[in-house]
């Protein structure tokens, strides 16, 4: 089966509704930035790079669907849409990166008609989407030498084609290793509470023919101790300037257990996920989602007493000291991260 997390189709943003997978493959059409923001918030689309692309296309809807022909009115509507999209989810920096990039492009005073704004907005959103695919493949290529010919790999959450525009970051690495003939076996963390691992990563891996088993998040330590795990690879929602990394809740636990068991722990992330303006993990905003996501499995099966309180941070921060390396499209970055990320991002003096 071939699928697209997000597509622009004749002035409409079309997204695969990831809340319904794997049972149903349904595409929804969105025609306003408000709808796109709601789709991001409710996780129709999720995963840092996919959220960035969705925000860019959401903004492009403004000039595209304008009926007034009034360039000043469209510019004001773009400002409002930008604010609404920015408020959809706080942790993945790709959202803000994509909106900043769109804003910079559309600020050009030469774009003095709605038609010009429309063309520029769509071209920029397409560029963001297309670049993402190339970036993911470059990440996977850089990672190949780190993957043994026969490897058992733990993966957390979903970082595949669904979480990006296509191919994926951490899951793209597993996919490419398999495509290159390496004998990879994935242990797929189910990823409570939204089950991105069990629902989405398993769905993708079955299509790519990569052998895997879904495991409870709490089982990873057991498998590392008893089975011989070669490496862990996860994605990121935001990498701070010192290498501290925010990713799906449970990533920190996995990293600590990996260290205890001497298992290398890799973060795969495009440079669009590296936020040099955030000094450390303490400065990364962590999204708190509704408690019902914890007490009701997928909104359907209640597993806690009526009225039981629950906490639901969607992400955690893995301190840089637990990370073996950060794999980007520009190369593999090793500690000391503060220094080497600055070099990678072109912010170092030497």
Instruction: Name the residues annotated as catalytic.
Output: 237
Q: How many residues are recorded in the chain?
A: 350
Q: How far apart are CA 305 and CA 21, in angstroms?
A: 27
**Residue 235 Cβ, how far from ligand MRU at the closest point, in Å?**
3
**Residue 120 Cβ, how far from ligand MRU at the closest point, in Å?**
27
The strand pairing partners of 238, in sequence order, are 246
**Residue 177 Cβ, how far from ligand MRU at the closest point, in Å?**
17
Smaller CB distance to ligand MRU: residue 33 or 235?
235
Angle between helices 33-41 and 71-86 (to 10 degrees): 10
Q: Which residue minimizes CB distance to ligand MRU?
A: 235
- Rg over alpha carbons for the chain, rounded to the nearest Å, is 20
Smaller CB distance to ligand MRU: residue 286 or 342?
286
Please, is 347 exposed, middle or buried when counting C-beta atoms within 10 Å of its C-beta (0-12, 13-18, 19+)?
exposed
**Residue 14 Cβ, how far from ligand MRU at the closest point, in Å?**
19
DSSP state of 161: G
Tokens of 291: 């408690």
Smaller CB distance to ligand MRU: residue 111 or 158?
158
Using alpha carbons, select from 134, 167, 133 the residue that is nearest to residue 2: 167
Contact between 163 and 236 under an 8 Å Cβ cutoff? The reply is no
Tokens of 335: 């500690």
DSSP secondary structure letters along 107-155: T-TT--SHHHHHHHHHHHHHHHHHHHHHHHHHHHHHHGGGS-SEEEEEE
Smaller CB distance to ligand MRU: residue 169 or 340?
169
Smaller CB distance to ligand MRU: residue 74 or 143?
143
Bridge-based pairing state of the strands 315-318 and 245-248: antiparallel
Q: Which residues bind ligand MRU (CB under 6 A)?
A: 46-49, 92, 157, 159, 163-164, 169, 196, 235-237, 247-248, 314
**Residue 269 Cβ, how far from ligand MRU at the closest point, in Å?**
7
């Amino acid at each position: 089966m071939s699928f697209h997390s997000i597509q622009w189709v004749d002035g409409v943003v079309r997204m695969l509704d990831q809340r319904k997978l794997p049972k149903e493959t349904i595409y929804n059409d969105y025609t306003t930035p408000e709808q796109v923001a709601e789709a991001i918030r409710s996780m129709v689309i999720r995963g840092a790079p996919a959220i960035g692309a969705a925000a860019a296309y959401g903004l492009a809807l403004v000039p595209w669907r304008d009926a007034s022909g009034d360039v000043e009115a469209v510019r004001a509507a773009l400002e409002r849409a930008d604010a609404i999209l920015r408020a959809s989810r706080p942790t993945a920096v790709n959202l803000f990166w994509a909106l900043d990039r769109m804003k910079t492009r559309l600020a050009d005073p030469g774009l003095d008609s709605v038609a010009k704004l429309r063309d520029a907005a769509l071209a920029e959103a397409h560029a963001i989407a297309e670049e993402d695919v190339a970036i993911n493949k470059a990440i996977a290529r850089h990672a190949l030498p780190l993957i043994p010919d026969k490897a058992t790999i733990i993966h957390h959450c979903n970082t595949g084609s669904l979480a990006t525009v296509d191919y994926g970051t951490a899951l793209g690495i597993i996919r490419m290793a398999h495509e290159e003939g390496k004998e990879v076996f994935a242990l797929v963390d189910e990823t409570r509470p939204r089950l991105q691992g069990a629902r989405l990563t398993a769905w993708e891996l079955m299509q790519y023919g990569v052998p895997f088993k879904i495991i409870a998040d709490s089982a990873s330590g057991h498998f590392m101790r008893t089975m011989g795990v070669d490496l862990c690879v996860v994605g990121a929602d935001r990498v701070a300037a010192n290498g501290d990394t925010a990713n799906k809740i449970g990533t920190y636990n996995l990293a600590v257990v990996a260290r205890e068991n001497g298992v290398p722990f890799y973060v795969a992330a495009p440079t669009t996920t590296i936020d040099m303006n955030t000094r450390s993990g303490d400065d990364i905003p962590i999204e708190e989602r509704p408690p019902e996501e914890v007490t009701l499995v997928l909104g359907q099966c209640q597993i806690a007493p009526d009225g039981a309180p629950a906490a639901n941070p969607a992400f955690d921060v893995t301190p840089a000291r637990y990370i073996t390396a950060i794999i980007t499209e520009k190369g593999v970055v090793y500690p000391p991260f503060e220094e080497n990320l600055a070099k990678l991002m072109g912010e170092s003096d030497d």
